Amino acid sequence: MNAIPMPALAPADAVMPRSRLVRAYLMEARAECLRYLRAPGFLLPTLLFPSVFYLMFGIFLGRANGADASRFLLASYATFGVMAPGLFGFGVSLALERDTGLLTLKRAMPMPPGAYLIGKMVMALLVAAVVALILLAMAGFLAHAGLTFEQGASLFGIEVLGVLPFCALGLFIGTLIKGQGAPGLVNLIYLPMAFLSGLWFPLNLLPGPIQAIAPIWPAYHLDQLALSAVGLGQGGHAVHVLVLAAYTGIFLALAARRLRRNG
């Protein structure tokens, strides 16, 4: 008896009506955001670390270092703050979800293939927006940084979109390591990158070799855009944007390749 050929299964987003497709993306994004709202171990440090650092160094101590100190540290700590949602929200969670089988389960579910990543991206963008808003409020009401509305809006937009390269980097990290070791590896990248990019101390106060290698880090380029937004930049906006876009594309491609091969 000849076997009856089975029809090939079409991707979920090819057979799902547009309204249900949009609803699937929205539901996955909502679920991802709710999951992190219920995880204070991730959310509270992400929100508090840049705020506390800015309070100590940008407000209490910054007043003694000149009128520009509060704006300089606002840009730097905002950049430091938005790195975390991308690196930890993608890197650590993806590694854990691969270990526990949740990623395999999501792939087997009748949902659009991109909904998983879109949900995590929405979560990272929202957390980055909250970090930027908290720091801008502190700069305006406590530090009296003297930002115009245009400067504040520009800094907010740069920092929110600036989370995307770190989402891509975090996604790549999550494909490399097991869940148990992911927090340690992410911290080994996150904290040294912040220091070597000049987020904690102005680069001109650091040794020459550190200044020379600063441009290899995506945090450096995001910080330069943030400094320009508050009136302290040195130009070269197009170069910084292109470098960040290149980082995003390269790490996304590498992560996608590893996920296709290894799951």
| Alpha-helical segments (H) within the chain | 12-15, 18-37, 40-53, 69-86, 93-100, 102-108, 115-141, 149-161, 163-174, 182-196, 208-213, 218-229, 237-262
Q: What is the dihedral of CA 10, 249, 189, 52, to 10 degrees?
A: -90
Residues of the chain with pLDDT under 50: 1-12
Type of residue numbered 244: L
Q: Taking the CB of residue 213, how many other CB atoms lie within 10 A of it?
A: 12
DSSP state letter for 8: P
Q: What pLDDT sits at residue 153? A: 97
With a CB cutoff of 8 Å and minimum separation 6, the contacts of 38 are none
- Tens digits of residue pLDDT in 237-247: 999 999 999 99
Nearest-angstrom CA–CA distance, 129 and 137: 12
Tokens of 120: 């995590």
Q: What pLDDT sits at residue 114? A: 79
Nearest to 67 by CA among 133, 138, 144: 144
Q: What pLDDT sits at residue 187? A: 94
Q: Is 150 exposed, middle or buried (0-12, 13-18, 19+ CB in 10 A)?
A: exposed
Q: What pLDDT sits at residue 41? A: 80
Angle at 139 between CA 223 and CA 210, to 5 degrees: 25
Tokens of 226: 């943030």
Helices 115-141 and 40-53: crossing angle, nearest 10°?
30
- Tens digits of residue pLDDT in 57-73: 988 887 667 668 999 99
Q: What pLDDT sits at residue 263? A: 59
- Residue linked to tokens 């876009």: 245
